[in-house]
Structure 1
Amino acid sequence: MGASSSTGNPSPEAHEQREQETLASAALSLPLLRVAFSRSATAANALPDALAPPPASFRLPGSPPPPPPPHFHDILAGLGPAIASQFFGHGAAAAPEGDAGWVPFLRGFNRCCARVPASHSLVLLLRVYAGAGAPCGVQLQPDEDGKVAGELTPEEIAVFLWMCWVMAWSASASRVAGDGGEKLGPVAVLLPDVTHLVLSALVSAGAVADDAGVWGWDISSGGKGVKVQEFTSWVQSTPVRLGNCLSRYVRDRFRSLAADSVEQESSVSTVNTTFDTSDVYLLTRGRAWAIALSIRNKLSEKLLSASVIGMDTEDLLYRSSVHGKGLSRFLSRVEGYKGPMLILLSAFSKSGGENVDSDRRWVIGVLTEEGFESKDTFYGSSGFLCAAHPIFRMLPPSGKEKNFMYCHLHPQIRAYEANPNPVGLAFGGTIGNERIFLDEDFSRVLVRHHAVDKTYQHGSLIPNQGYLPVEASVLDVEVWGLSGEATKRQQNVYKKREDIFSEQRRKVDLKTFASWEDSPEKMMMDMMSDPNTVRREDR
């Protein structure tokens, strides 16, 4: 009785603090937030500096790589102050350590990192983009969390996407202190190519026609803009995880702020050597980032890491230009890998014997949930189709049928078949009417209209696809394993076991032919010399 009466009802301040702490602990641990708050409260500019991305020298893909737009570095410089002012308020960074400043700090953290609808998180990200000094047509409403309006040009969309990618890159890089306490110079960072994403947004809004308008299109060429509402609709349908960039970035910066300097130095030393590498595979960092933003499973983290530091070459299971074309070569490299894989295919459509135009090559991809094996039927549990170049489009499963993948190679011992199944690699559709069909030699690919397929969602995979099947010549095929080292080790064990079985089948046991009595030659001689056999009469 005495214990219950002594506690009483908590004060409104204590009740609010408990609610804010409960909400914040779902995004980041409270002890880590306490350390980040204490370190950010040491000076007036401590929090804006902590929320700023690490220094870097950014360049665009190309030879030589051109610099980004002049205002891009100004946006990155204003990113930390914009987040601090919009969510943590003016003067909150200089608040003393304690409950007086702790609760406002938690309020600001929860405004940008708590679970909110995807549309609202994208609005917050656009407000930060405009608040960082971006010269764009985004118009902010007077209220703090109000909606945004206006229009975005193609170049502004590209700069916005690059800003979001830098937020993801900042999770792998941080300020490094030298022996004398001085900060090292900025690292060289190559920004990913986001042309396919910008085109996807413009086509979704109707600013660019999804046909001949996508060939040779360049961001710097300008063109019709996209309204913010249309851009928001595109984000909610294609790069659905783009709105999470802000909350992820703030959490990563607070982790970096609370980490020891030794841990910061070790984390950066492992990534500086890879930031300035160029894309040499079909799986470029821009394509890996686009796929990572468009899926909602555990593979997103693997591809997000690939978009920042590149894929590990150990994960490259097959590349036709290196390992040879053909389904048999393909299976020899991927068979036994029991995990998700990403297949990318580069091709160009045939056009009346004309020369190949390098600007008309396209890239499509397939994300599978399991490995390949030779069967004469469709199989698989899930998968995605995607158009990767020149425009990006992700096609998840529809849930109506399960014809996800088909891989059929003639067995070594062939038998007569009245209606043999096609030999090749296919995805979606039905046997004889596949959505994508790659022949046995990996020299020809056939892409059919989505009307023949009920496994994957509707949408064109290549420009000018039309209703008729499109036949194209294959340039290159890549297969990347996405399950890590454990699955790769299991595949190596499988390959060694198969090599042993193959070697045993090739060996001939000579002991069975060592005795003349048991040899087939003696059996044939006895059959010829049997006196009981019928012989022709000598005349």
Structure 2
Amino acid sequence: MGASSSTEQPASAEQRELENIAASTGALPLLQKSFSNLSDPQTNAISVQTLQQCFHLCYEDPVCESQQKPESFPRLLDHLGSSIVDLFFLSEKGGINWLGFLGGYVKCCGRMPTSMSLNILLRIFAMAVKKLGLSSNLEFEPDDADCKINGSLLPSDLLLLLWMCWAMLWNVRTLKSSERKGNLLLLDINHLVLSAVVACAEVDSSFDLWNCDIVGLDVQLPVGKFLNWAITTAPILSDCLTQYVNRRLQISVLAEDEAGSSESISGDMSPNASQALLLTRGRAWAISLAPRSTITEEILKLCFSADIVGTDENLLYRSSTHGKGLNRFWSNVEGYHGPLLVLISANSEDAYQDNNKARKWIIGALTQQGFENKDTFYGSSGNLYAISPIFHVFSPSGKEKNYVYSHLHPTGRVYESHPKPVGIAFGGTTTNERVFLDEDFAKLTVRHHAMDKTYQPGSLIPNQGFLPVEASISEVEVWGLGGKTAKEVQDSYKKREELFTEQRRKVDLKTFATWDDSPEKMMMDMMGDPNRVQREDR
């Protein structure tokens, strides 16, 4: 082990500092074991080729959900491992010693601000692009301590960068230690790329978000604006590198016959496997990249689920399957006490098009608790999402707490002078909700963010003006993200309700003393002469 050299001579101050930093991340024992396994006992160093092979990532023919599939991407992955080693791991004549190995890990995976982690991702991407022989508009200042970046990205560059991060995460989640090759499923993440394009580039209102060729789109995304977009929209993106490096080092330590703790995917992994659902793997991954929360791990499980269509226990309600309407919705989500993700697909006519073509868009809402039948707003936290054709996150503003509104028809009341709206809403105030679904799930109303102080401002749908937008709903999905415990609690609740309902249906005829008091005689009298006046006994 590289650290054993410290028994022959006192460790330097630099080595002690690096070991302390690595220990703070919890990776020091892994680094010691992997260095011992990868290094040459004679030179007590790791050869550059060995470490490059350790981080090498190769997928020859990835399967792509999207129609956008740059041919250069598989070859870009071939240079990922060598780019990581060349950028961060200092090599001497004998190879990479313990100090260089430790310092390289701290440089690329140590504790650091999100902006610096994203900076490192861009450096690795630019190096891989350079090794591939392609041009890049990114420029770095190596003399600067933070290695500042100048230049810009094309939308096609951003697509490759996001896919590179996804490929690392896919490898971590699906590859076992005994496996060296596997299939890679590339997600349709056009909505995520378009989010960066709209936020970073100058595009006019006539820009067609629905029919956009990402690969051929010639707009520049300044790297400074891109970093700002990534910090607010996808800050978890940088975690992919740390997880990948740790997993690769872990595989180098595990014996050949030991299986890792990662998940093994089996089943239908075809590109169209999840396209029928509103929550595709690409949309789920985009949501998981938002600021870290309790649902991050649960939403990631959906990304790597082999059977995401139809039978997944997380899918609590789907209007096309369970039926439209608030009552059908309530019968499927009642009793679930945990985070819920609601996705709504609707159609609205685009006034900017001469042919008045209907445009479909998807918005979403995340609640941190189950739904309750109340005539007032409630909730402790939540998010709103623009999902498709463009992705954006609207987190709580902290000014108000009108997160959720879910109100059914009141029972036991004959007349209300000021009836409360019946339906589901997110944000805003009563009768001025930011998002409102009527009780039939036929019409969706989306209002301007000026009506809402609960969630951050911004457009939920493209070309949204100040006036309310009314659209016809085509699909509603509700996904439970509370884990197995929340689902088990809901199942127990449903069983109790079914038992109580069955008991209430039973009528004990022994409770009626005579034939005159029985319900059968009452029904026969009514059928015989329903207009006959009977004297009431007092």
Q: TM-score range by the shorter chain?
A: 0.7 to 0.9
Equivalent in the alignment of 1:7: none
State the SS of the aligned residue for 2:419: coil
Structure 2 residue 297 is matched with structure 1 residue 298 = no
Match among 38, 41, 58 for residue 40 of structure 1: 38
Structure 2 residue 278 is matched with structure 1 residue 282 = yes
CA deviations over 1:323-364 (Å, ceiling 9, x no partner):
100000001001100000111110011469999846x20000
**Paired residues of 1:188 and 1:276 also in contact (CA < 8 A):** no
Task: Give the direction of change, closer, same or farther, for the CA distance of 1:403–1:266 in structure 2 (3 Å limit).
Answer: closer
Consecutive unaligned residues in structure 1, runs of 5 or more: 1-9, 96-100, 534-539
Rg comparison, structure with higher value: 1
2:93 and 2:83 mapped to 1: Cα distance? 13
2:123 and 2:219 mapped to 1: Cα distance? 22
**Paired residues of 1:203 and 1:209 also in contact (CA < 8 A):** no
CA deviations over 1:475-522 (Å, ceiling 9, x no partner):
101111111111111100000111111222222221122434765879
Structure 2 residue 240 is matched with structure 1 residue 239 = no
1:408 and 1:416 mapped to 2: Cα distance? 16
- CA drift of 1:272 comes to 4.7
Equivalent in the alignment of 2:17: 19
Match among 117, 120, 141 for residue 116 of structure 2: 120
Equivalent in the alignment of 2:139: 139
Equivalent in the alignment of 2:64: 60
**Paired residues of 2:201 and 2:222 also in contact (CA < 8 A):** no
Q: For 1:94-173, list aligned pairs within 5 A.
A: 94-95=95-96, 101-133=97-129, 135=134, 136-143=136-143, 145-173=146-174
**RMSD of aligned C-alpha atoms?**
2.9
Q: For 1:304-383, list aligned pairs within 5 A.
A: 304-309=300-305, 311=308, 313-350=312-349, 357=357, 360-383=359-382
Task: Give the direction of change, closer, same or farther, for the CA distance of 1:413–1:263 in structure 2 (3 Å limit).
Answer: farther
Task: Give the direction of change, closer, same or farther, for the CA distance of 1:392–1:38 in structure 2 (3 Å limit).
Answer: same
The number of aligned residues is: 505
1:341 and 1:303 mapped to 2: Cα distance? 11
TM-score by length of 2: 0.87
Equivalent in the alignment of 2:175: 174
2:536 and 2:437 mapped to 1: Cα distance? 57
State the SS of the aligned residue for 2:495: helix
Equivalent in the alignment of 1:467: 466
2:496 and 2:58 mapped to 1: Cα distance? 48
The amino acid across from 1:227 in the alignment is P
- CA drift of 1:151 comes to 1.4
**Paired residues of 1:188 and 1:275 also in contact (CA < 8 A):** no
- CA drift of 1:209 comes to 3.5
- CA drift of 1:419 comes to 0.8
**Paired residues of 2:434 and 2:451 also in contact (CA < 8 A):** yes
**Paired residues of 2:334 and 2:371 also in contact (CA < 8 A):** yes
1:341 and 1:512 mapped to 2: Cα distance? 45
CA deviations over 1:135-173 (Å, ceiling 9, x no partner):
321122233751121111111111111111111111123
1:258 and 1:380 mapped to 2: Cα distance? 46
Task: Give the direction of change, closer, same or farther, for the CA distance of 1:505–1:369 in structure 2 (3 Å limit).
Answer: same
Task: Give the direction of change, closer, same or farther, for the CA distance of 1:405–1:210 in structure 2 (3 Å limit).
Answer: farther
2:73 and 2:116 mapped to 1: Cα distance? 24
2:488 and 2:93 mapped to 1: Cα distance? 51
Q: For 1:204-219, list aligned pairs within 5 A.
A: 204-209=199-204, 212-219=207-214
1:370 and 1:26 mapped to 2: Cα distance? 34
**Paired residues of 2:448 and 2:464 also in contact (CA < 8 A):** yes
Equivalent in the alignment of 2:255: 260
- CA drift of 1:89 comes to 2.1
TM-score by length of 1: 0.87
State the SS of the aligned residue for 1:149: strand
**Paired residues of 2:177 and 2:254 also in contact (CA < 8 A):** no
The amino acid across from 2:109 in the alignment is C
Equivalent in the alignment of 2:87: 86
Match among 47, 50, 55 for residue 51 of structure 1: 55
1:255 and 1:207 mapped to 2: Cα distance? 44
Structure 2 residue 265 is matched with structure 1 residue 271 = yes
2:222 and 2:103 mapped to 1: Cα distance? 31
Task: Give the direction of change, closer, same or farther, for the CA distance of 1:461–1:322 in structure 2 (3 Å limit).
Answer: same
**Paired residues of 2:139 and 2:149 also in contact (CA < 8 A):** yes
1:378 and 1:406 mapped to 2: Cα distance? 5
Structure 2 residue 386 is matched with structure 1 residue 387 = yes
The amino acid across from 1:341 in the alignment is L
State the SS of the aligned residue for 1:161: helix
The amino acid across from 2:300 in the alignment is L
**Paired residues of 2:170 and 2:184 also in contact (CA < 8 A):** no
1:438 and 1:528 mapped to 2: Cα distance? 50
Equivalent in the alignment of 1:488: 487
**Paired residues of 2:349 and 2:357 also in contact (CA < 8 A):** no
The amino acid across from 1:118 in the alignment is T
